[in-house]
Structure 1
């Protein structure tokens, strides 16, 4: 199989899958390395395919009914609570963005949809002894939040406001 044929099959698999698929799983399927799949997906993205990397694997980007950008500020120890509040109110945390003084905007795709995703994120941070992007900016960051109804957005904002996480004027 050529690399072009493999990329075509990756595109087909991801476009029909109902769940994210990891680079490792795709690598096993095609008998290539995880890094080869990462490169294939990068080439597909460069060609215009809206493929995103989530904590659970690759998937096609899902279009939200509505999106809002919320500015938040909190300590790293509060990140799980912040995420939990958003998903319990019906939101999807699409990304996190910080404005770094040297690099400018740094964006990380999250696609946190439910409590399971929150728990997975927290476990990965602990296991990898990772630092949050918001630690670069004294806790200030934005999230693009997907939601279905104005009531959901209002509930998300109210919950974040109550916890003191919503950064407002």
Structure 2
């Protein structure tokens, strides 16, 4: 049986070596422990300063974009997939979603959606789990931190969202 320290070292090695997220369940199978044990190991690693983020597809190390912008959006839940696809199809990365909740203040969910496949997996997982978008708590108003490479790319993303009436201005 591996120790917590050994598991954490293996988790770190695999996440740093890979270019895709790894789920807690996959780590649990590989390391012959429970999923909850992996969740606890990752929590301990984060507490020590490791920049591990939980994505809809699993754990990964945070990858900073060259530049980011915060875009305020508003739309119905049925439009979420279209909104996200408009961003990633233009090369943007949807880093997160955030709302201002009247009771809890700012609530943020890490997304790190980079591709159409990422968006489809996120939407499918939400539907399979009968989940609700954070924006359902704020009548559709939310922000996204969007990673981008050039000012022109950011303008194209904004214009695409604007043309669909998703950009809240």
Normalised by the shorter chain, which TM-score bucket? over 0.9
What's 1:139 paired with? Answer: 140
Aligned partners of 1:122 and 1:20: how far apart in 2?
17
Deviation at 1:99, TM superposition (A): 0.4
- Distance in 2 separating the partners of 1:132 and 1:85: 18
**Residue in 1 that maps onto 2:20:** 19
Query: Deviations along 1:5-37, whole A, 9 cap, x unmatched?
Result: 211221111111111111111111110011110
Q: 2:49 corresponds to which residue?
A: 48
TM-score by length of 2: 0.97
Which contiguous aligned blocks of 4+ residues in structure 1 show a shift greater than 3 angstroms? none
3-state SS, counterpart of residue 78 of structure 2: helix
Question: Partners in 2 of 1:129 and 1:25 — Cα distance?
Answer: 23
Further displaced range: 16-25 or 74-83: 16-25
TM-aligned CA deviation for residue 56 of structure 1: 1.4
Q: What's the counterpart of residue 68 of structure 1? A: 69
Give the match's secondary structure for 1:63. coil
Question: What is the CA distance between 1:150 and its match in structure 2?
Answer: 1.0
Query: Could you give the per-residue CA deviations for residues 77-134 of structure 1, whole angstroms, max 9, x where no partner exists?
Result: 1100100100011100000000000000000000111110111111112111111100
SS in 2 for 1:164: coil
| Stretches of structure 1 lacking an aligned partner (at least 5 in a row) | none
Partner of 1:123: 124
| Secondary structure in 1 matching 2:147 | strand
Q: 2: CA distance between counterparts of 1:5 and 1:119? A: 35
Aligned match of 2:29: 28
1:163 matched to which residue of 2? Answer: 164
Separation (CA, whole Å) in 2 of partners of 1:25 and 1:152: 36
Aligned mates of 1:55, 1:126 — CA distance in 2: 13
Equivalenced residues, count: 168
SS of 1:53's equivalent in the other structure is strand
Give the CA RMSD over aligned residues: 0.8
Equivalent-residue separation in structure 1 for 2:101 and 2:133 (angstroms): 13
User: SS of 2:79's equivalent?
Assistant: helix
